[in-house]
């Protein structure tokens, strides 16, 4: 009860019962501890610095456990020792002293004595935004995985597998690039030679909606594929976007061209889709992920391609990560004598930043 009475004195407002998805952010008054305090459902209390909060999750830096991210639905109350910046979907910002979220309504006060103002939660983009979200600079993150094997003796085999994932963000824009390379030899003879490059540039225009343009290139010598080109626009929706959980889906109309080594080239157009998902599990020690892209021809053809990567990633030390991944690559109409389906089980060691 002491905490609630203190909050009441600071806000000079009757406190709403803390329940369900309610989160309350308040500027701490004189005499209180300088550190931010986060009270979690069940009575636990975290002290540190709140560095970011969306309508889905809150992130706090602590001295004993590093950076901790908590679902907003699990937060009962937060007391801050400094004002917080709120970024709205129309790109406007506001310094506020008191914030509460209840029943999909966002209530804020510019100072403790001000009248509370209520807006829809959908109008709020983030609390304590990063500089790049305010148009100040950019954010660049990525991951590189490498696998190399060299056998000699009864079996002479060399394998080199490389893949990368790059994310570049500035304000409402996001550029995602993904690529992979596989080059294997057996007794000096090339046995695998393929690579893929995929890039997707999107711009958020309304809430979680975005429009995008994507391009993919692929080469596979042993499938007689000299170069596959797929390009087109799309419309997407971000269901979740936070460190514990990300999910987005995109649908568009694409053009597909298959350039072969030994047979006639082919052209198609039709609907295509892209799904990207990852989620922290098992006390956030592991990350489950799934990414897929597909295309179905609409110009008098049964051409259908589908490619998916599903795996589990485990952070190690100093940015290094280990993962196990299962990949499926399906083409309903491959080159003559090529298989319709390739499957690969990968064990990876990588580095992310």
Determine contact, residues 234/212, Cβ cutoff 8 Å: yes
| Shared-domain flag, residues 177 and 308 | yes
| CATH number of domain containing 262 | 2.40.160.40
Answering whether pTM is above 0.75, one says: yes
Beta bridge partners of 200: 176, 214
Nearest in space to 253 (alpha carbons), one of 266, 267, 237, 234: 234
Give, for all 353 residues of the chain, the pLDDT tens digit: 443 343 333 333 333 333 344 444 544 444 444 678 787 877 788 899 888 887 778 888 888 888 888 877 787 767 777 888 989 888 899 888 776 666 777 778 787 678 888 888 778 888 888 899 998 999 999 999 998 867 676 667 788 899 999 999 999 999 999 999 999 998 889 988 999 999 999 999 988 999 999 999 999 999 999 999 999 999 999 999 888 899 999 999 999 999 999 999 999 999 999 999 999 999 889 999 999 999 999 998 899 999 999 999 999 999 999 999 999 999 999 999 999 999 999 999 999 99
- Domain-ending residue, one of 67, 95, 129: 129
**Domain that residue 236 falls in:** 139-352
Report the chain's terminal Cα–Cα distance, integer Å: 43
CA torsion through residues 341, 346, 350, 352, sign:
positive
* The residue to which tokens 């995109």 are assigned: 250
The C-alpha angle with vertex 98 and arms to 96 and 102, in degrees rounded to 5, equals: 115
| Shared-domain flag, residues 113 and 145 | no
Look up residue 253 and give its two tokens: 């109309």
Beta bridge partners of 177: 166, 199
| Shared-domain flag, residues 340 and 200 | yes
In a domain, 190, yes or no: yes
| Shared-domain flag, residues 13 and 89 | yes
| Rounded distance between C-alpha atoms, residue 38 and residue 71, angstroms | 12
How would DSSP label each residue in 222-247? GGTEEEEEEEEEEEEEEEEESSSEEE
| Shared-domain flag, residues 323 and 207 | yes
Q: Which residues contact 30 (CB under 8 A, 6 or more apart)?
A: none
The C-alpha angle with vertex 275 and arms to 270 and 276, in degrees rounded to 5, equals: 150
Strand bridging mode 139-151 / 45-53: unpaired
In a domain, 134, yes or no: no
Number of domains in the chain: 2
Look up residue 117 and give its two tokens: 């103002």
- Domain-ending residue, one of 87, 104, 129: 129
């Amino acid at each position: 009860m002491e905490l609630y009475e203190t909050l009441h004195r600071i806000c000079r407002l009757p406190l709403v019962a803390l329940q369900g998805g309610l989160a309350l952010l308040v500027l701490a008054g004189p005499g209180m501890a300088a550190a931010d305090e986060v009270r979690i459902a069940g009575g636990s209390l975290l002290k540190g610095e709140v560095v970011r909060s969306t309508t889905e999750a809150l992130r706090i830096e602590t001295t004993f456990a590093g950076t901790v991210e908590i679902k907003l639905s699990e937060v009962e109350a937060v007391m801050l020792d400094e004002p917080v910046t709120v970024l709205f979907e129309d790109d406007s910002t506001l310094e506020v002293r008191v914030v509460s979220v209840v029943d999909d309504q966002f209530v804020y006060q510019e100072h403790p004595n001000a009248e509370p103002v209520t807006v829809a939660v959908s109008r709020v983009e983030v609390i304590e935004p990063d500089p790049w979200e305010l148009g100040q600079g950019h954010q660049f993150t990525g991951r590189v995985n490498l696998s190399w094997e060299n056998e000699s003796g009864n079996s002479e085999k060399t394998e080199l597998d490389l893949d990368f994932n790059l994310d570049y963000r500035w304000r409402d824009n996001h550029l995602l690039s993904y690529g992979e390379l596989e080059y294997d030899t057996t007794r000096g003879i090339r046995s695998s030679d393929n690579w893929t490059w995929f890039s997707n540039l999107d711009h958020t225009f309304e809430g979680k909606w975005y429009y995008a343009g994507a391009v993919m290139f692929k080469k596979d010598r042993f499938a007689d594929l000299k170069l596959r080109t797929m390009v087109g626009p799309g419309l997407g929706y971000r269901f979740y976007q936070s460190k514990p959980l990300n999910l987005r889906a995109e649908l568009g109309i694409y053009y597909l061209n298959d350039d072969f080594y030994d047979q006639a080239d082919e052209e198609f157009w039709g609907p295509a889709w892209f799904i990207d998902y990852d989620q922290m599990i098992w006390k956030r020690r592991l990350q489950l992920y799934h990414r897929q892209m597909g295309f179905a021809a609409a110009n008098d053809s049964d051409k259908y391609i589908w490619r998916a990567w599903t795996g589990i990633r485990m952070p190690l030390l100093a940015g290094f990560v280990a993962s196990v991944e299962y990949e499926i690559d399906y083409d309903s109409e491959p080159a003559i004598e090529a298989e319709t389906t390739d499957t690969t089980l990968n064990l990876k060691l990588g580095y992310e930043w």
